[in-house]
Structure 1
């Protein structure tokens, strides 16, 4: 069911009491009653120990997986009642994805890879708009190159331009700098942050790296499938300290769950 548009300042993505259980009632609980919202023009990192539910969280929020219970609303659209075809169309039109593996087509040039989402949506790409997207990520002089002719950082820049070309409501990233060196990762994250904030879009990035998370406006922490806490205007040290308390490098947390509404 279509709900109130997010363009007036409400959450672009919101999860309400979302749970995900794999294997039936006696199975594994990956998410346990998660309630959280992400506003337009914000950049959020999601962190947590291994097995905390980060990937499941991203998949449910992006409509890649259906929650067992609860509600997911993206850009005013309730996802849990949509058909698979409707979900596919929503992901194509309103969501951008950036993954650790760049997922570029090797036979296509930079320009062609960036234009691909528009072509898949049956929309004729405007050459000027595609070139502007490539220029925005600093690859104007590589526009006619193919992925094999680019460095890893340059390929991830192409992936970001491709994610932005449809002007999606939200960009989801799954360890988008995991295959990059520290210096290149910093440049890519700064680029993503500028692109998102400059266009008033929203980014939600799952990462295990405190340095990467520190480029976000806000870091949300998961443990045992629940939202535990968050840090605003994070620094690498503050993020690392919070991860330590969550058991990332020590004993798993068994108490002190974060129960407030995350805004």
Structure 2
């Protein structure tokens, strides 16, 4: 990991990252433009910005799902550009957790088997005590034998959170994790994520368009036209919304996804 002057470690580190889609001068799209930022160990970071600001590309590059055109991305001290595809796949499987708006559960598997799945895919024998702890933590002890189709949306997202955390990932990436949930259920899911940071020292990076969701984070990064346009530490939802509105107004003429 990269260690800052204050001794705090960066789990994710971007240095002068640029991502351009397309090679022709007229059609090339710059999704990230000279982004330099560090995301600290044990922190909860929300990434926000108008449509086309580069949020999705930021997340994909940070997770090793996309490769920057130039610059450096380090995850847990590893320079991602140096890894071959097999090593990159192993890193994602062993050190990264993912949560998406679409829960991406296996419909034929029970709650407990969905949670065990990443361990089995990694060739690791699931530790029953760890799996039981995760099920208990997300409040689904009485649903462990149910299948996803028998659960509410909020319960399915709880399964997805337990599945992401059961491997003890170095960093958890969440892409609009509350986008398909009602406000009450969304608060419950965000509280679970907040507790993972507070109690386990988990590092979470969450892309969201929702100021209320972002207010659960320690820090909010704002992207605009592929650049970091600002950051807020422990802000209120009202302050986030105000900053987001200014960015949205600036980007009203268009941008990159």
Normalising to structure 1: TM-score of the pair?
0.91
Instruction: Tell me, yes or no, if structure 1 residue 51 matches structure 2 residue 56.
Output: no
Partners of 1:111 and 1:5 lie apart in 2 by: 37
User: What is the CA distance between 1:52 and its match in structure 2?
Assistant: 0.2
Normalising to structure 2: TM-score of the pair?
0.94
How is 1:139-158 mapped onto 2 (pairs within 5 angstroms)? 139-158=140-159
SS of 1:45 mapped into structure 2: strand
Find the counterpart in structure 1 of residue 166 from structure 2: 165
Find the counterpart in structure 1 of residue 125 from structure 2: 124
Give the alignment's Cα RMSD to 1 decimal: 1.6
Deviation string, structure 1 residues 169-213 (Cα, Å, up to 9, x no partner): 000011011000111111101111101221111000000011110
Find the counterpart in structure 1 of residue 110 from structure 2: 109
SS of 1:104 mapped into structure 2: coil
Deviation string, structure 1 residues 34-58 (Cα, Å, up to 9, x no partner): 0011111110100000000000000
Partners of 2:157 and 2:228 lie apart in 1 by: 29
Find the counterpart in structure 2 of residue 16 from structure 1: 15
Find the counterpart in structure 2 of residue 232 from structure 1: 233
Structure 1 residues 82, 25: closer, same or farther in 2, change over 3 A? farther
SS of 1:124 mapped into structure 2: coil
Structure 1 residues 15, 120: closer, same or farther in 2, change over 3 A? same
CA contact (8 A) 2:2 2:10 kept: no
How is 1:1-263 mapped onto 2 (pairs within 5 angstroms)? 9-24=8-23, 26=25, 27-246=28-247, 248=248, 250-252=249-251
Structure 1 residues 18, 4: closer, same or farther in 2, change over 3 A? closer
CA contact (8 A) 2:53 2:224 kept: yes
User: What is the CA distance between 1:165 and its match in structure 2?
Assistant: 0.5
SS of 1:107 mapped into structure 2: coil
Partners of 2:217 and 2:3 lie apart in 1 by: 25
Deviation string, structure 1 residues 74-127 (Cα, Å, up to 9, x no partner): 011110111111111000000000000000001111110001000000001011
Partners of 1:174 and 1:242 lie apart in 2 by: 20
CA contact (8 A) 1:223 1:253 kept: no
Unaligned residue ranges in structure 1 (runs of 5+): 255-263
CA contact (8 A) 2:96 2:173 kept: yes
CA contact (8 A) 1:14 1:73 kept: yes
SS of 1:122 mapped into structure 2: coil
Partners of 2:202 and 2:237 lie apart in 1 by: 24
Count the aligned residue pairs: 249
Partners of 1:237 and 1:5 lie apart in 2 by: 33
SS of 2:82 mapped into structure 1: coil
